Structure 1
Amino acid sequence: MLAAAALLPVNATLAVVLAVLLVAAVGVAAVARLADGRGRGHARSIAVAGVRAAAQLAAVSAVIGWVVRAVPLLLCFVGLMFAVAVRTAGRRITDNRTWWWAAVPIGAGVLPVVALLLLTGLVPLKGIALIPVTGILIGGGLTATVLGGRRALDELHTRYGEVEAGLALGMADRDARLEIARPAASDALLPGLDQTRTVGLVTLPGAFVGMLLGGESPLLAGAVQLFVLVALLAVQAVAVALVLELVARGVLHRGEGEPPGPGRFARRSRTLNGAEGE
């Protein structure tokens, strides 16, 4: 059995290698001018993410042994994880006040799965088991919500003319937006699907490797990893479906106090139709 310390010793060499890799990532992003759709470069974001990850993991490593001793502290820690995920996902999708609606797709995906695990006894109400499992599920819901929400809004912005055409044919605002945004938002499921399809052939995910390093049998490690992947598929499917619905209804948008472009076009079309009928 390969011990974790032998696989990746925590020493000065590790720190130097991590710094080099982070600098390389920042350099490539800067040279290639990698940026999001709003022109914000990713070089600085990569640097900040790397430093934040180091600080946050150090803090979690220091407190996790303390919070698992009592259920109230454990639940507070899980609540903090959820709040950070909602804030991160929401601000990735929009800069306005509607960002907090990201809590709906993430929560609706994660909470039923966690409740099922606790009620069936598959995961005990203990931090050493609940925190990592919940963290994996929240992380999956976050990723699906961000990808689904951003792609749906980008598609509506790019193809607003097609949405307007649907409105002109008598479609409801929600239905017209869904027709355009659904295929793009659905692509948010592809990373999870590909990971599940290729597990064991292309990659050995973290849960599997972690259990092997902890001394568990390959059979048990495989069973746990299968559970994680299937649970993530359920969480992400719910998250994508709900974030798409929120975008289609104009609840989650990028305008300042105004639903996405199609809503404005719908009102304009109704106004013109009313004027023509006079």
Structure 2
Amino acid sequence: MSLTAVAFTLLFVGITVFVSMRQKLGLERDIIIGTIRAAVQLMAVGLVLQAVFRTEHLAVLLPIIIAMIAVAAWHAAGRGKGLSGIAWRIGIAIAATEAMIMLLLLGLHIIASTPQYVISISGMTIGNAMVVAGLFLNQMKRDVESSRGEIETLLALGASVRQAIQLCMKRAVKASLIPTIDGMKTVGIVQLPGMMTGMIIAGADPMQAVRYQILIVFAFTSSAAVTSIILSLLSYKLWFTEAMQLRRLGNE
């Protein structure tokens, strides 16, 4: 794709801005900032990956993956404002998920241990885990607030904080997994995933592209479940004070 063709894609952004202005949504500034950030970030990543893919040293990959996890954790932590220490807990959940996926893929020789495969699949895995973490925190906030009376009653009756918030945790984990599960049910029929489409456009055999997409879909499902469960176990105490009282995040 030529730079001219890429420039023409700004027409899509223009349409989005026009719709926002027409409907008075007030999203024009966010759309423009997002467009600039996306272009700059992707170009920078492209240059970095171009250099990384030329090396055969896997040690070069570790700082890149750590940086990806740190940024993902920082971004997802924005959904948990008021919860002290939520960022590093998200980081641990995402790192554990990434480690599990990579150990299985590399240990079973499903993918080659080259930067091209490791970085690409790590990026998709970490990005999916970040989204799941954000969904989990959003649902927990809503559920804890709506169940405040029930939780405080359980605490008054002598339940531990884990017992009092257990149902909220289960509902939040379930809610965070729904988009991934729904996507798995409709993949190939309602939507043609980006990885498969990209490989086909690049000239790969469609069946080969499908095999890699199946790998990604199954890995995403596993990573979503592991991320949400680990995060729920690491973070449930943050919803309470040291005196075992339920926090009011909006007032902190």
- Describe the superposition over 1:6-43 as per-residue Cα deviations: whole angstroms up to 9, x where unpaired: 9x9734322x3143145247547x8347xxxxxxxx66
Count of aligned pairs: 244
CA pair 119-199 structure 1, distance change in 2 beyond 3 A: same
Match for residue 237 of structure 1? 225
Give the C-alpha shift of residue 124 in structure 1: 2.1
Give the C-alpha shift of residue 72 in structure 1: 2.8
Match for residue 73 of structure 1? 60
Q: Which runs of 5+ in 1 are unaligned?
A: 34-41, 254-258, 267-278
Q: Which runs of 5+ in 2 are unaligned?
A: 248-252
Match for residue 131 of structure 1? 119
Q: More displaced, 219-228 or 241-250?
A: 241-250
Separation (CA, whole Å) in 1 of partners of 2:102 and 2:200: 24
User: What amino acid sits opposite 2:178 in the alignment?
Assistant: L
Superposition TM-score, scaled by structure 2 size: 0.85
Give the C-alpha shift of residue 170 in structure 1: 2.8
1:224 aligns with 2:217: no
User: What amino acid sits opposite 2:8 in the alignment?
Assistant: T
SS at match of 1:263: coil
Q: How does 1:87-106 map to 2 (within 5 A)?
A: 87-95=74-82, 97-98=84-85, 99-106=87-94
- Describe the superposition over 1:229-256 as per-residue Cα deviations: whole angstroms up to 9, x where unpaired: 1100000001111222233222xx5xxx
Give the C-alpha shift of residue 193 in structure 1: 0.6
2:154 paired residue among 146, 163, 166: 166
Separation (CA, whole Å) in 2 of partners of 1:172 and 1:185: 20
SS at match of 1:31: coil
Match for residue 275 of structure 1? none
Match for residue 36 of structure 1? none
User: What amino acid sits opposite 1:93 in the alignment?
Assistant: G
1:200 paired residue among 171, 188, 204: 188
Separation (CA, whole Å) in 2 of partners of 1:24 and 1:262: 52
Match for residue 56 of structure 1? 41
Match for residue 24 of structure 2? 31
Give the C-alpha shift of residue 47 in structure 1: 3.8
CA pair 197-137 structure 1, distance change in 2 beyond 3 A: same
Give the C-alpha shift of residue 66 in structure 1: 0.7
Give the C-alpha shift of residue 83 in structure 1: 1.4
- Describe the superposition over 1:54-73 as per-residue Cα deviations: whole angstroms up to 9, x where unpaired: 11001111221112214332
Superposition TM-score, scaled by structure 1 size: 0.78
Separation (CA, whole Å) in 2 of partners of 1:119 and 1:25: 49
Computing the radius of gyration from Cα coordinates, the structure with the larger value is: 1
Give the C-alpha shift of residue 185 in structure 1: 3.5
Match for residue 13 of structure 1? 8
Give the C-alpha shift of residue 180 in structure 1: 2.8
Separation (CA, whole Å) in 1 of partners of 2:6 and 2:31: 23
The answer as to whether partners of 1:157 and 1:261 remain within 8 angstroms in 2 is no
CA pair 177-46 structure 1, distance change in 2 beyond 3 A: farther
